[in-house]
Structure 1
Amino acid sequence: MDPMHQDALGSPSPHHAYAEHLFSLGFGLPLWQPYPIEPSDNLLGNVGYVRDGIFHRLFNAMLSGDRESNVATGTPSPVSPAMLPDPVGDGQEPGIGSLDPKSNVFCSSGTSFTGEISGLRIDYQLSFKSTVPSGSLLVLPGGAYRARLYPESDPGQDVARYMFEHYHAWQARALRAKDSAFAGEPLVFVTGYVRSGQWAAATFDQTDGQAHISHSMGSVTEPSSFSLDSPNGRLYHHSHLSRGTPGVQLPAGQRMLPRWTPSQDTLRPLRIEYTLFINACKIRFRSPSVTLGGNVGDGLEHADYIDILLSYILKHCDAHAAAAHDGDVYALCKTRDFPSKRQFVRLLDDVSPEIEVDEAGLAFLATRGTKSPIGIFSRLREFRTSRRKGSRQDLTHRAPSPTSPANGSWNALEVFYRGLR
């Protein structure tokens, strides 16, 4: 088996462990290798794929093929305005995490921390304590920004139907593209993301359940460092300034910030930010290996939560294809402790969420009620129609970034679902 996916001892690779540990935060799919972008870039509408914890962009499905960002691969089919409604507002939600430095540190379940990142200091030190054998950490010294196509909801069914119609053409185009590394991986449509200019990430495993991890940043231009106090534990880490653990690869095109010396005090770092999480819509077509009543848990190690939900949908209906979004997963889990992937498989069997299949043979989770994501999405479409008729309404919604506190205490899922209540 590829060592990038599993080591000789059978432990999951760092990117799989990190993605499972931090998905519960409620921000979408965690990227072990954050995707570098210019501050002016916008990932909304990007179509690409995730491999080894890295997002690979193919094109933007909401821009025409002659736009500069699409020239390399082209857009197989421009978006029809009738198929995808206009975003509400500009999609940008300002980050204010620096007002509460303690909210700039994220830990997976079973891990806690002491210390804080002070806005008055460029150096800091954090101490983590874990009572579980494995976990992951994310530190954002400067906070983060969040952008979503539809801030009050997930994208509903329209994005999925658009993907369903063009999916095979997109795959064929990507496979034919010159210098493309695409090998037929599942495509994702980006409907939101979290980005930051500074970050440090770590994941650890094989501890005795009483591990201590230290993290420090010497200055704004020096690499951060992690250390693990556990005799048998393993630690993988990196940051925006450093590769960190030997063997941690960087995505193609990622640029390291220049190092400073006393004689270079006028040198400015390259302006670049990094995408840490993406909200994604996925499609899966039925194949001979995906049969009605198949095992949802097959290939669980390399699947994300959306993949598990797609398997469940195809298992329990005879649709031609299934569609799911990370928002569907969060909706199923919001009233309970967030499950591991194995627990999520059992949760689906216990809850048995209803499935609906449209006339084209595409299956979704059925959502009921005016405050469901699809219900909210329908109201947004009605708003667009009324606006074109001259109605002046303002549905622009801005929410705090993932690094802001919620009612005085940090609860990522509570912030994520505030608009659904």
Structure 2
Amino acid sequence: MPAASNVYAHALADEDYGYPLWDPGYEQKAGEVEIGDVGFIEKGRFVRLFNVMQRPDDELNALRGVPEGFRQLTIDEKHISTSSINRDSFWSKHITKVEAKATAGAGSTFDASLTYKATSSSGAILHLPTGYAEERQVSERSMIMHEYLRRNYEHWHRYIQQSQKFTVAENDLLFVRGWVKTADWIVAAFAHSKEEEGASIGGGHGLFKASFSIDLAKQEVQGGWTNRCARTKQEAHQVDQCIFIHFLKHTAHDRWNGC
């Protein structure tokens, strides 16, 4: 059976916001995803090793340190764009959004369900309860990060393997040039279901409190997964969950690939 994170990323790959992360959360000790991060994706979550746009003693580099001979990268704001995304759902191309309901309950809670119809045997859904996300990225036309990556990726890779003891292939090492973040999220993916099957994501007692599950109508699915953000009241409006990531990475024949 395929991994949920791979099914999800492949299904939402056509979105023009970068690589979809199955787990948009972050290590509390490391901090949220930022431009300039060097790291890798593991089980649908980005793992930072260090950040080249911050000082070696910055809190973003406190957990794992920086390579020997580290030189901080500075990028002028003219190369960086920011924008707002007012959208509550993303779904793969063979899914049709059918219905979204929210019914007020006692106090500030409410029941919610999202119903979709799939015309493919696999797919993915991302729902943003707040209906809002922010995007920040270095322009694809800017050569600053490309040149910095070219000069450093071999050194980074040796450092990660020898000093950090991570087994990461060169083409799995990512250099973050941008992100899309939100405050709260729900994701679902399915594979090997029967075509034209209905899917419903729902739960009771509020989007911020409920446990969500995917319920495929005919129950003939071999792989169906959900994941959601668990936040405290104090965290509920913090836009720090990275749902899409833009990155550069080294590929064969000294070519550079990005997302």
TM over 0.5: yes
Report the counterpart of residue 78 of structure 1 in structure 2. Answer: 71
Separation in 2, partners of 1:205, 1:230: 14
| Structure with more helix by fraction | 1
Separation in 2, partners of 1:322, 1:172: 19
Contact 2:36 2:175 in 1 (8 A): yes
> How many residues are matched?
245
Helix, strand or coil at the partner of 1:115: strand
Question: What is the Cα deviation at residue 36 of structure 1?
Answer: 2.5
Report the counterpart of residue 325 of structure 1 in structure 2. Answer: 258
| Residues 149-164 of structure 1 mapped to structure 2, 5 A cutoff | 149-150=137-138, 153-164=139-150
Report the counterpart of residue 168 of structure 2 in structure 1. Answer: 183
Helix, strand or coil at the partner of 2:7: helix
What amino acid does structure 2 have at the position aligned with 1:16?
N
Q: Which has the higher contact order (CA 8 A, sep 6+)?
A: 2
What amino acid does structure 1 have at the position aligned with 2:65?
G
Report the counterpart of residue 232 of structure 1 in structure 2. Answer: 220
Question: What is the Cα deviation at residue 90 of structure 1?
Answer: 7.1
TM-aligned CA distance change 1:90 to 1:156, over 3 Å: closer
Separation in 2, partners of 1:19, 1:70: 28
Structure 1, unaligned runs of 5 or more:
1-6, 98-102, 242-256, 259-267, 287-320, 327-421
Contact 1:282 1:325 in 2 (8 A): yes
| Residues 10-409 of structure 1 mapped to structure 2, 5 A cutoff | 12-36=2-26, 41=32, 43-76=34-67, 77-81=70-74, 85-88=75-78, 91-95=81-85, 97=86, 103-116=87-100, 122-150=110-138, 153-178=139-164, 180-184=165-169, 186-218=172-204, 219=206, 220-233=208-221, 234-241=223-230, 257=231, 268-270=233-235, 273-286=240-253, 321-326=254-259
Deviation string 1:123-159 (CA, Å, 9 cap, x unpaired) is 3221110111111111111134333233xx3154331
Structure 2, unaligned runs of 5 or more:
none
What amino acid does structure 1 have at the position aligned with 2:143?
Q
Contact 1:155 1:191 in 2 (8 A): no
Contact 2:39 2:49 in 1 (8 A): yes
Question: What is the Cα deviation at residue 25 of structure 1?
Answer: 1.1
Helix, strand or coil at the partner of 2:156: helix
| Structure with more strand by fraction | 2
What amino acid does structure 2 have at the position aligned with 1:200?
I
TM-aligned CA distance change 1:222 to 1:71, over 3 Å: same
Return the TM-score normalized by structure 1.
Answer: 0.53
Contact 2:33 2:242 in 1 (8 A): no
Separation in 1, partners of 2:80, 2:113: 36
Contact 2:212 2:226 in 1 (8 A): no
Give aligned-pair identity as a percent.
Answer: 24
Report the counterpart of residue 372 of structure 1 in structure 2. Answer: none
Superposition RMSD in Å: 2.7
Question: What is the Cα deviation at residue 198 of structure 1?
Answer: 1.2
Return the TM-score normalized by structure 2.
Answer: 0.82
Separation in 2, partners of 1:56, 1:227: 31
